[in-house]
């Protein structure tokens, strides 16, 4: 099954064009393209590789004893609401972290030390369930290179409202304009935002794309930014930071060309 997705409306940064994608309706691996998920950390060019999206069959969340089973297409907001309603703790940060379950697991998403792998039990792939201990993961990284159809988490009773307040405050300094979240991963012992500001790029624009004046590691869309605008600013940040500090910035945003 095919569908057309307009990435200028679908992606969180609101950059892109209408592109045909294939909807995956049954468990299978893909080897000839990219699974876009919720497109919350994507920058999609007008000529990307073949794109896929999970069908509604993989949008679910259910309790199974002391386990929580979630489909790969389930949005973070739905997971957050379910946990809050059922007094489940450990995933409070999902209230402030957009994405679908598959993408969140693949990048070990989180806020500071609170990350998706903390409560993870296993991940469901096309042909088998793999336990957490058999998946390499680190800060905002896993070695997963397959489609994630679902994941199982250990339940921790007691939704933590104080922790939710802490996450809300952490997000208070982030821009309201459309963005794809943090553009670059923080280098060890430093912050990408500090480095981008230090090389004079905070608030700098290219067309309608801009390094945010609120948080320099956020690439925002002020109106109708193009892929070329955004890509130029990303490349310029990498160039200037390397020339000034000898540090190679690594994208957290995924660029599809």
DSSP secondary structure string, 232-255? HHHHHHHHHHHHHH-----BSSEE
- pLDDT at res. 171: 84
Tokens, residue 72: 């790969």
Q: Encode pLDDT of 147-172 as tens digits.
A: 999 999 999 999 999 999 999 998 88
pLDDT-based confidence at 37, cuts 50/70/90? very high
The catalytic residue among 22, 78, 81, 140 is 140
Q: Rounded to 5 degrees, what are φ and ψ at 157?
A: -70, 140
Under the banding of pLDDT at 50, 70 and 90, the label for residue 94 is very high
Helix (H, G, I), strand (E, B) or coil at 154: strand
The model's pTM: 0.89
Assess whether 252 carries a catalytic annotation.
yes
Structural contact between residues 99 and 12, judged by C-beta atoms closer than 8 angstroms: no
d(CA 72, CA 159): 22
Catalytic residue among 8, 11, 182, 212: 182
> Whole-angstrom Cα distance, residue 249 to residue 240?
10
Span 66-80, pLDDT tens digits: 999 999 999 999 999
pLDDT at 52: 98
pLDDT tens-digit series, residues 119-131: 999 999 999 999 9
Domains annotated for the chain, with CATH where assigned, are 2-56 (3.30.43.10), 58-168 (3.30.465.10), 174-256 (3.90.78.10)
pLDDT at 254 over 90: yes
Q: What is the pLDDT of residue 139?
A: 84
* Mean pLDDT value of segment 93-97: 93
pLDDT score recorded for residue 197: 98
The pLDDT, as a whole number, for residue 123 is 98
Distance (Å) of CA 221 to CA 2, 36, 195? 28, 20, 21
Backbone dihedral region for residue 222 (phi beyond 0: left; psi -120 to 50: alpha; all else: beta): alpha
Among 12, 76, 92, 252, the one annotated catalytic? 252
In the residue annotation, 12 being an active-site residue is answered as no
Distance, in Å, from the CA atom of 200 to the CA atom of 208, rounded to the nearest integer, reads 18
């Amino acid at each position: 099954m095919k569908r057309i997705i307009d990435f200028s409306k679908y992606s969180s940064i609101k950059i892109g064009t209408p592109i045909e994608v294939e909807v995956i309706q049954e468990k299978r691996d893909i080897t000839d393209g990219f699974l876009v998920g919720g497109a919350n950390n994507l920058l999609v060019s007008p000529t990307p590789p073949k794109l896929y999206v999970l069908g509604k069959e993989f949008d679910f969340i259910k309790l199974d004893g002391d386990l929580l089973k979630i489909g790969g297409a389930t949005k973070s907001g739905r997971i957050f609401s379910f946990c809050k309603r059922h007094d489940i703790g450990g995933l409070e940060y999902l209230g402030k972290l957009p994405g679908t379950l598959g993408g969140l697991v693949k990048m070990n998403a989180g806020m500071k030390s609170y990350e998706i792998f903390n409560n993870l039990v296993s991940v469901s792939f096309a042909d088998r369930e793999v336990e957490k201990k058999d998946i390499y993961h680190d800060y905002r990284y896993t070695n997963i290179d397959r489609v994630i159809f679902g994941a199982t988490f250990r339940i921790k009773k007691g939704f933590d409202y104080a922790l939710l307040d802490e996450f809300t405050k952490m997000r208070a300094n982030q821009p309201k304009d459309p963005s794809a979240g943090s553009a670059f991963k923080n280098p060890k012992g430093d912050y990408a935002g500090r480095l981008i500001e230090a090389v004079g790029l905070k608030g700098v624009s290219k067309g309608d794309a801009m390094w945010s004046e609120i948080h320099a590691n956020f690439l925002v869309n002020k109106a109708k930014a193009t892929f070329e605008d955004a890509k130029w600013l990303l490349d310029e940040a990498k160039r200037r930071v390397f020339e000034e500090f000898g540090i190679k910035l690594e994208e957290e945003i995924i660029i599809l060309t």
